[in-house]
Amino acid sequence: MRRLMQSVVIVMLIAVLFSGGVARAQDEDPVRQAVIDVVVGSEEFADWLGNYPNYQVNTWGPDENNVWGMEFLNESGDEWLGYASIDADTLEIQDSFVPKPLPQDVYQAQLAIVTDYVLHDAEVLGWLENPDRWEMYPDWNRWEQVWDVGFYRGIEGVVVKATVDENDNVWIDKIVDPNQLSEEEALRNARDEAINLAYSAEGVWDALDGYDEWTSYAEQQGRTRWSISFVVDEEERFFALVDIELNTVLETRSILD
């Protein structure tokens, strides 16, 4: 059955390549290219990726269920454009996310109802006491797909996170002090910052070249220092010691050395 489905995928790929579909060099793996084409041609991704000529796509898989994962970046690789996972047997997109902004007309309509609702919410007023003493900065957070309504007064801040449903009803998800991260959030942010810094180290991509999947292990080595190991099949391919306060890679070690 799986061979039959993969044959269908290959036929679909040939049809795309010869029917004036997306212009792209043929991939060495026709199944990989076919699942990419299905995602790229889907309603969620087609218009979005059309805004980014020469976008990049990184894939991994398939896993034991023949599911592929992929992420998209802009041409320079410095803007993340979304991800998807797709079943290569059924060509069904199982999970996806695209950090799309709201259409301008929707943005303006929701902006009005969100700010009005927030300014009359009893819990928000309890935080602010007097809204007139605060500067308000509402905006759509496309990464979290929620409205962030920020209130600032000097170094003080309050952020209201709200969503709007299909009937234009507003819901406040939570109210936070942006200056106070929980210990868990602060640790997670520091870990993510350390891993991202390690990815900038010279030689890391050479060590990972040819591998679609790897695991990054991060361990705190002091207040601002972290060690990062990139591992493939239980083998460390690259190691970096970084300092996130100095934004510096202090030491590296590669399997290619």
Regarding whether 162 and 109 lie in a shared domain, the answer is: yes
User: Where is the domain boundary, 40, 75, 97?
Assistant: 97
Q: Bridge-partner residues for 140, per DSSP? A: 147
- 78 band by pLDDT with thresholds 50, 70 and 90: confident
- The helix (run of H) or strand (run of E) holding residue 32 is helix 30-40
Regarding whether 71 and 158 lie in a shared domain, the answer is: no
Regarding whether 126 and 40 lie in a shared domain, the answer is: no
Regarding whether 83 and 127 lie in a shared domain, the answer is: no
Nearest alpha-carbon partner for 176 in 155, 163, 161: 161
Residues with Cβ within 8 Å of residue 231, at least 6 apart in sequence = 214, 215, 216, 217, 237
In the predicted model, is pLDDT for residue 8 greater than 70?
no
Could you tell me the CA-to-CA distances from 26 to 10, 67, 223 in Å, in that order?
12, 21, 48
Q: What is the pLDDT of residues 23-42, one digit of tens each?
A: 344 456 889 999 999 999 99
Regarding whether 114 and 73 lie in a shared domain, the answer is: no
- 187 band by pLDDT with thresholds 50, 70 and 90: confident
Please give the pLDDT value at position 3: 39
Nearest alpha-carbon partner for 114 in 171, 53, 50, 191: 171
Regarding whether 194 and 161 lie in a shared domain, the answer is: no
pTM exceeds 0.85: no
Please give the pLDDT value at position 21: 33
Regarding whether 120 and 42 lie in a shared domain, the answer is: no
* Number of neighbours of residue 162 by Cβ within 10 angstroms: 23
Regarding whether 165 and 121 lie in a shared domain, the answer is: yes
Regarding whether 228 and 194 lie in a shared domain, the answer is: yes
End-to-end CA distance of the chain: 45
Please give the pLDDT value at position 121: 96
Please give the pLDDT value at position 186: 80
Regarding whether 69 and 13 lie in a shared domain, the answer is: yes
Regarding whether 116 and 139 lie in a shared domain, the answer is: yes
Residues 169, 77: Cα–Cα separation, whole Å: 37
- The helix (run of H) or strand (run of E) holding residue 22 is none
In the predicted model, is pLDDT for residue 134 greater than 50?
yes
Residues 136, 138: Cα–Cα separation, whole Å: 6
Regarding whether 215 and 165 lie in a shared domain, the answer is: no
Q: What is the tally of structural domains in the chain?
A: 3
In the predicted model, is pLDDT for residue 188 greater than 50?
yes
3-state secondary structure of 101: coil
User: Where is the domain boundary, 66, 97, 128?
Assistant: 97
What range defines the domain where residue 241 resides?
183-254
User: Where is the domain boundary, 82, 97, 112?
Assistant: 97
Please give the pLDDT value at position 29: 84
Nearest alpha-carbon partner for 127 in 163, 154, 155, 152: 152
Please give the pLDDT value at position 12: 38
Residue in the structure block whose two tokens are 């009937």: 167
What's the whole-number mean pLDDT along residues 100-109?
96
The token pair at 26 is: 């043929």
In the predicted model, is pLDDT for residue 125 greater than 90?
yes
What is the average pLDDT score of the chain? 88
- 98 band by pLDDT with thresholds 50, 70 and 90: very high
- How would you list the strands of the sheet with 225-232, edge to edge? 215-220, 225-232, 235-243, 248-254
Residues 227, 175: Cα–Cα separation, whole Å: 34
- The domain that holds 47 is classified in CATH as 3.10.450
Residues 41, 100: Cα–Cα separation, whole Å: 16
- 180 band by pLDDT with thresholds 50, 70 and 90: confident
Q: What is the pLDDT of residues 146-178, one digit of tens each?
A: 999 999 999 899 999 999 999 999 999 999 988
